[in-house]
């Protein structure tokens, strides 16, 4: 092991915690910027006269490319490491947000927020969290996953109310400028102090040398794959029933989270006379509760079977979405925010844990990237679909009820995940066996 003086930044604790902090801040920034268009819908309608369906379509493209970037990011993370991917993604976000300040045409919204920001944010999404947590931690892996994946909700907790306040008092271009400044501050920090792998510093993953320590996941048969230095190929993963159950449930997760609530909750609130800043602040409250819920989720998957916990989360989400059509004032919105906030991103830690335990920690980036792509396809379809429903029917009630119904379907899919020993052989999965 190298001495502490050889570390990029000498610290009196395990260096992986600093790596986790840098990853948290980067994911937080990417999530905050990616989610910001939800508060731009109303101001862009007012200033440029663009229709809500058109703006929602640009956000839908953002969500889709956020997902398309995930398998690409997973491959890049496995090939070049987290540091380069984080720097490239933050640079894309900086370009997209800065150019927004001179935006005048609808096609520019599609280009900047749809394509550039979507790809940039996708590079530092939950695939980064999955890779960092599984490479740097054996003990406390669930906690690390919970912390990293709470970054998405924390980003929205910070950025959405701040961006809305800036829009109300100074205009949306000032808000875009502040987002660009955040990227400028973070880039040199990542360049100086981020490291790709514990072995680069002569370190072992946290807790790997402790007897009896397992990465969690609840099923003894899964632990060998999680500790294995070998992974499985994409072809082998695609032949596994576990992969498709995860992808299907995550498709619904994206539709009921980023696509439906992340895009349309604030416009729905404004439609019912709730002030813009109040609606944005409620989303912030929801993000704060999700910070608690996501860390709790990470803590729980070290203690129970992740598939059962994942099923419970989806069921709770379905209940909250069945309530939302009847919310017409701030008190009702607050009740919804409490229930939904606790499960907003809580699906991510158990999904990543099942992926890593089933397919091996060295392949979690590229395999989870494809699972996350299904999440964002669902998000993109629901974002544009709910916008079309709002234009067609005049409200979001049908969209919310549909969201609650498919969330219950996702609960059933998650409960159906039953990995076998054949799917988690230490040296990979033999062709034709994984799906048996």
* Residues 400 and 385: beta-carbon distance below 8 Å: no
* The two structure tokens encoding residue 53: 């369906």
* Residues 136 and 370: beta-carbon distance below 8 Å: no
**Sign of torsion over alpha carbons 326, 329, 335, 336:** positive
* 215 band by pLDDT with thresholds 50, 70 and 90: very low
* Residues 161 and 32: beta-carbon distance below 8 Å: no
At residue 118, the pLDDT reads: 87
Higher pLDDT: 126 or 353? It is 353
* Residues 341 and 258: beta-carbon distance below 8 Å: no
- How many whole angstroms separate alpha carbon 31 and alpha carbon 257? 13
Burial 413-434 (b: 16+ CB within 10 A, else e): bbbebebbeebbbeebbeeeeb
- The residues, any chain, with a CB within 8 Å of residue 170's CB and separated by 6 or more, are none
CA distances from 51 to 55, 116, 210, 391 (A): 6, 22, 58, 9
* Residues 165 and 75: beta-carbon distance below 8 Å: no
* Residues 22 and 189: beta-carbon distance below 8 Å: yes
Show the 3-state SS of 298-320: HHHHCCCCHHHHHHHHHHHHHHH
Q: For the chain, which residues make up each domain, given as ranges?
A: 19-206+215-424
* Residues 169 and 23: beta-carbon distance below 8 Å: no
- How many whole angstroms separate alpha carbon 132 and alpha carbon 141? 10
User: Considering only 75-84, 96-105, 427-436, which range has the smallest mean pLDDT?
Assistant: 427-436
CATH class for domain 19-206+215-424? mainly alpha
pLDDT in tens, 363-418: 777 788 889 889 878 988 888 888 888 888 888 889 999 999 999 999 999 999 87
At residue 209, the pLDDT reads: 61
User: Considering only 146-155, 241-250, 314-323, 379-388, which range has the smallest mean pLDDT?
Assistant: 146-155
**Sign of torsion over alpha carbons 376, 141, 337, 38:** negative
pLDDT in tens, 14-68: 888 999 999 999 988 888 888 777 777 778 877 788 887 788 788 878 878 887 8
- The residues, any chain, with a CB within 8 Å of residue 123's CB and separated by 6 or more, are 30, 69, 72, 73, 76, 85, 86, 88, 89, 92
């Amino acid at each position: 092991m190298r001495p502490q003086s050889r570390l990029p930044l000498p610290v009196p604790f395990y260096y992986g915690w600093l790596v986790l902090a840098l990853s948290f801040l980067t994911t937080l920034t990417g999530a905050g910027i990616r989610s910001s268009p939800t508060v731009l819908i109303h101001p862009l309608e007012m200033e440029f006269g663009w229709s809500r369906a058109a703006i929602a379509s640009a956000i839908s493209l953002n969500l889709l490319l956020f997902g398309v970037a995930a398998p690409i990011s997973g491959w890049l993370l496995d090939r070049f490491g987290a540091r380069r991917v984080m720097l490239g993604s933050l640079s894309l976000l900086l370009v997209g947000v800065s150019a927004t300040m001179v935006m005048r045409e609808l096609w520019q919204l599609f280009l900047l927020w749809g394509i550039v920001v979507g790809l940039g944010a996708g590079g530092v999404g939950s695939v980064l969290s999955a890779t960092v947590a599984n490479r740097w931690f054996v003990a406390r892996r669930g906690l690390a996953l919970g912390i990293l994946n709470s970054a998405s909700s924390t980003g929205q907790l910070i950025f959405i109310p701040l961006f809305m306040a800036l829009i109300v008092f100074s205009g949306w271009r000032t808000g875009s400028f502040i987002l660009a400044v955040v990227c400028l501050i973070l880039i040199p920090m990542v360049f100086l102090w981020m490291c790709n792998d514990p072995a680069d510093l002569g370190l072992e993953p946290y807790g790997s040398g402790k007897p009896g320590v397992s990465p969690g996941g609840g099923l003894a048969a899964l632990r060998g794959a999680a500790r294995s230095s070998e992974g499985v190929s994409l072809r082998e993963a695609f032949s596994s029933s576990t992969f498709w159950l995860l992808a299907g449930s995550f498709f619904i997760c994206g539709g009921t989270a980023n696509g439906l609530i992340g895009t349309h909750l604030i416009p729905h609130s404004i439609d019912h006379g709730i002030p813009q800043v109040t609606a944005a602040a409620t989303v912030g409250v929801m993000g704060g509760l999700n910070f608690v819920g996501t860390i709790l989720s990470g803590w729980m998957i070290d203690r129970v079977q992740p598939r059962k916990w994942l099923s419970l989360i989806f069921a709770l989400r379905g209940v909250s979405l069945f309530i939302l059509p009847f919310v017409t004032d701030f008190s009702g919105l607050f009740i919804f925010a409490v229930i939904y906030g606790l499960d907003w991103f809580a699906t991510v830690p158990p999904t990543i844990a099942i992926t890593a335990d089933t397919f091996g920690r060295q392949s979690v980036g590229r395999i989870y990237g494809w699972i996350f792509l299904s999440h964002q396809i669902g998000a993109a379809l629901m974002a544009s679909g709910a916008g079309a429903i709002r234009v067609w029917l005049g409200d979001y009630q049908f969209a919310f009820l549909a969201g609650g119904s498919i969330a219950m379907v996702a609960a059933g899919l998650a409960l159906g995940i039953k990995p076998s020993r054949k799917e988690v052989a230490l040296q990979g999965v033999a062709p034709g066996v994984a799906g048996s």
